[in-house]
Chain A
Amino acid sequence: MMTAVESHMTYSNSYTINNETVYMTQEDDWDRDLLLDPAWEKQQRKTFTAWCNSHLRKAGTAIENIEEDFKNGLKLMLLLEVISGERLPKPDKGKMRFHKIANVNKALDFICSKGVKLVSIGAEEITDGNGKMTLGMIWTIILRFAIQDISVEETSAKEGLLLWCQRKTAPYRNVNVQNFHISWKDGLALCALIHRHRPDLIDYSKLRKDDPIGNLNTAFEVAEKFLDIPKMLDAEDIVNTPKPDEKAIMTYVSCFYHAFAGAEQAETAANRICKVLAVNQENEKLMEEYEKLASELLEWIRRTIPWLENRTAEQTMRAMQQKLEDFRDYRRIHKPPRVQEKCQLEINFNTLQTKLRLSNRPAFMPSEGKMVSDIANAWKGLEGVEKGYEEWLLTEIRRLERLDHLAEKFKQKCSMHESWTGGKEELLSQKDYESASLMEIRALMRKHEAFESDLAAHQDRVEQIAAIAQELNELDYHDAASVNARCQGICDQWDNLGTLTQKRRDALERVEKLWETIDQLYLEFAKRAAPFNNWMDGAMEDLQDMFIVHSIEEIQSLITAHDQFKATLPEADKERMATMGIHNEILKIAQTYGIKLSGINPYTNLSPQDISSKWDAVKHLVPLRDQMLQEEVARQQANERLRRQFAAQANIIGPWIQTKMEEISHVSVDIAGSLEEQMNSLKQYEGNIINYKSNIDKLEGDHQLSQESLIFDNKHTNYTMEHVRVGWEQLLTTIARTINEVENQILTRDAKGISQEQLNEFRASFNHFDRKRNGMMDPDDFRACLISMGYDLGEVEFARIMTLVDPNNTGVVTFQAFIDFMTRETAETDTAEQVMASFKILASDKNYITVDELRRELPPDQAEYCISRMTRYIGGDGATGALDYISFSSALYGESDL
């Protein structure tokens, strides 16, 4: 049997299984079952009866005796009907045996029709009540209808049932179902089976292996009560039989299977239904999904197309580029999922259709408008619009690019132009020429000319700007308004600039002309003011000129000059007025035309104020000069008086002195009378002269006055004070000298013992050779004189004599020296010793001499001479007032003893 089980397991689960093999198995079984154990027979009978009843009760009937009650076949047929759920042919109603057999045959036929090969079972035996056969037939039925269609996984019938039992009791460790006999003896298997399905029915934990009968009965009870499985077995029979009847057990257990598996079948059926439903649901879901997806997609397409059809142009490149970007996003990000969706949709649709077809369902018909074709069309439309959109975008972008470029160009040009024009209006409106000099104005003019040419050069730039603005307008630039405004602004400004430029030019020209006029006037002013200023300066100098005049004529001429000058003043004044007039004209022009003068005349530093003030100064000086001159006149006149006074005096004194000089010289020269007589005469003269001194003094007084009055010349007299003084001094000197000469002559005469006649001779000789008659001889005269006296001298001799005669090298020989020389030859020469001896005598042999002694012994003059010349005597024996005559003497002779 095992091998049969094994071979059975290889077949599939379907109940339309190949029954051939089942046939064989059953036949084998049946054959063996013929050797039925009586115990088993009993068990089987009980069990089979119970089983049949469990079915028959559904038809409202039952059997008591399995052999008996099936004899007529009616209940058998009924049983079969109940079991199979099919109608059997109508049973024969007769009571006759053949009727019963026929019915049984019907039943058997039915059984055969179900694929069960009944071997060795005949209707007659059944009808006859063959127990074994009947049991066998029931077993066949049971096998066929209760067990055969058990399928657990891929195992069916008995093996399947066993497997089912094993599976179900697997969790129960104290249950081990290996067969359909011994495994069931302890009853735990059954309980486990029940508990597995209906744990509420048995408290399995309370069951004990050592109470098989209890267990079994529990199971039987519960099964009958709750599971609608009538008792078919006996607990004692099972327990007491070493190997319970397999068939009985199988039959009973199969009821359990059917009870539970029914539930399971129901479950399975439900599962199947669920599965089918699920498939259905799935399909429906797929359909829904499709619908939904399709809707969504179409919706999306519907939404998207207008977006793509939208041809409203954006204003800016940026916006368009944004659009392009959006489009790109659309293509790269948004569309692909939709493409995928569409693909998915198609796939889903195809899958769905396939599934439906395979599962014999009607094809899926999408709702209106959601057909595949609709979707495809819509998609096509989308793509068509896309393309158009992209093209449009690119075109627009190009257009905008161009516009942007133009706009940029416009802006740039405008900016450049504006920067050039920036500030120009202010500059042109400047009134800087109002306070500028001519040079500055000329410079401004040149600058303006340069500006004008610059302006002209910019003209075409303005035109370019306007052209671009025009183009922008034609191309419908979004911000054309501001472009136009700016363009207009620029054009207006341009016109304004032109106007201002012209105005400035006019103004500059006008001002330039005025300034030229003014400049001319400045120049004229300068030309006139300078010489006038010079003249004034000269006049001022002259008027303040310090003059030194020494005569009335001089002052008169100055006065004349001054008067002449005064005569020129009116003319000068006219010149001044004219010059000032020029300046006034300048002021007038400036005031009239509103020109600001800097007040500086470029051609001269002289201002009208300078001229005016100088003129006033000149005017002021004139009377002062008059006064001065008049004062001077007075002074000169006074001087003249002084001069006359002086002159009068000098003219008297001068000649007088001269006369006296001559007289005196005559006295000394003339050889008239003795020396004493000469002396007297001279003394007389001396007295005269002394008396005359007062005149000199007076003259001196006059002279002083003259000098104080700064009179340096006197044309009334040839005699200057100096002349007179000199003359006077000469006179004094002469008289003194002459007197002295005479004195000396006297001395000499006395000293040398020369007589008067000798002296007169000497005198005559001297006079003879005194060619110049000045009381002196020059060396030539002297030489001639000597020659005449017979002294023939060589050069050397003569030189020696000259040194003697003229030791001081005065170059003249005086009469005294002459006499000395003449008398030297004859007289003794005194030596220093001799003089000293003489003094000693006078000093009474002392080594010194006193003042008194000198005064006593010598003539007063000589005494004084000695007193004054002698040095004080230094010696122990000297008294006060002692004089040293020794040194004095040697000093006289050129020698001093020290």
Chain B
Amino acid sequence: METVEQLVSFLHIQVQLSGGAPWGFTLKGGLEHGEPLIITKIEDGGKVALCEKLKVGDELININGSALYGSRQEALILIKGSYRILKLAVRR
């Protein structure tokens, strides 16, 4: 269940990946499961790993400028829809 946003100061990080799928990370959770969208795995050598900005445990909040409302389906669609360039915004 999406909890009420706590008054916790989040660190926001933005990343721009290019090159196309696979991007090299695993996304877990989502509104369907009552969990936040979290990056649970980062593949070594993958594009995410190479950019060295994202870490395991980061919550995905924005894809390609679109703020997410939490549904994994939505996220998947947005990510899959990115062809060459993928812009991600996370918070931790």
Contact = CB atoms under 8 A, between A and B. Distances in A.
A884 B1 CA distance: 27
A422 interface: no
A631 B87 CA distance: 70
Interface string B77-91: 101100000000000
B27 A896 contact: yes
**Residue of B1, B30, B73, B80 with most partner-chain A CB within 10 A:** B80
A898 B30 contact: no
Given A891-B72, A894-B30, A894-B33, A871 B22 contact: no
Contact of A807 (B25, B34, B77): B34
B72 A896 contact: yes
Contacts of A896: 26-28, 72, 75-76
A266 interface: no
A282 B35 CA distance: 178
A894 B29 contact: yes
A898 B72 contact: no
A874 interface: yes
A895 interface: yes
A895 B21 contact: no
Given A807-B34, A809-B34, A875-B21, A895 B77 contact: no
A295 interface: no
A809 B34 CA distance: 9
Contacts of B40: 895
A853 to B, nearest CB: 20
A895 B26 CA distance: 7
A897 B22 contact: yes
Interface in B1-49: 1, 21-23, 25-30, 33-35, 40-41
Given A891-B72, A895-B28, A898-B23, A807 B33 contact: yes
Contact of A808 (B26, B29, B34, B77): B34
Given A809-B34, A874-B21, A897 B76 contact: no
A769 B33 CA distance: 27
Contacts of B72: 891, 894, 896
Contact of B21 (A890, A891, A898): A898
Nearest to B37: A896
Interface residues of A, number: 16
A887 interface: yes
B58 to A, nearest CB: 13
Contacts of A887: 76, 80
A722 to B, nearest CB: 30
Contacts of B25: 897-898
Interface string A863-898: 000000001101100000000100100110011111
Nearest to A872: B80
Contacts of A890: 26, 28
B76 A894 contact: no
Nearest to A884: B80
B53 to A, nearest CB: 16
Interface string A622-660: 000000000000000000000000000000000000000
B35 A894 contact: yes
Contacts of B77: 871
**Residue of A874, A895, A898 with most partner-chain B CB within 10 A:** A898
Nearest to A875: B21
Contact of A898 (B1, B29, B76): B76
Nearest to A871: B80
B62 to A, nearest CB: 15
Contacts of B23: 898
Interface in A798-843: 807-809
Nearest to B29: A894
B89 to A, nearest CB: 15
A328 to B, nearest CB: 129
A887 B75 CA distance: 12
A831 to B, nearest CB: 13
Nearest to A896: B27
A897 B26 contact: yes
A897 B80 CA distance: 11
Contacts of A875: 21
Nearest to A888: B76
A884 B81 CA distance: 13
A803 to B, nearest CB: 9
A897 B75 CA distance: 12
A328 B26 CA distance: 153
A887 B80 CA distance: 10
A809 B41 CA distance: 27
Given A809-B1, A887-B76, A891-B72, A898 B34 contact: no
B84 to A, nearest CB: 12
B33 A871 contact: no
Contacts of A807: 33-34
Contacts of B75: 896
Contacts of A871: 76-77, 80
Contacts of A895: 26-28, 40
Contacts of A808: 34
Contact of B26 (A809, A872, A884, A898): A898
Nearest to B24: A898
A480 B73 CA distance: 133
Contacts of B1: 809
Contacts of A898: 21-23, 25-27, 76, 79-80
Contacts of B79: 898
A891 B33 CA distance: 10
Nearest to A869: B73
A895 B22 CA distance: 15
B36 to A, nearest CB: 11
**Residue of B1, B22, B28, B77 with most partner-chain A CB within 10 A:** B28
Contacts of B28: 890, 894-896
A519 to B, nearest CB: 77
A642 B59 CA distance: 60
A808 B30 CA distance: 12
B44 to A, nearest CB: 14
B39 to A, nearest CB: 9
Question: 10 tightest CB-CB pairs across the interface, nearest first?
Answer: A895-B28, A896-B27, A897-B26, A894-B33, A898-B23, A898-B79, A894-B28, A874-B21, A896-B76, A895-B26
Interface of A: 807-809, 871-872, 874-875, 884, 887, 890-891, 894-898
11 contacts: A872-B80, A875-B21, A887-B80, A894-B72, A895-B28, A895-B40, A896-B27, A896-B28, A896-B75, A898-B22, A898-B23
Given A874-B21, A896-B76, 14 more contacts: A807-B33, A807-B34, A808-B34, A871-B77, A872-B80, A890-B26, A894-B72, A895-B27, A896-B26, A896-B27, A896-B28, A896-B75, A897-B26, A898-B22
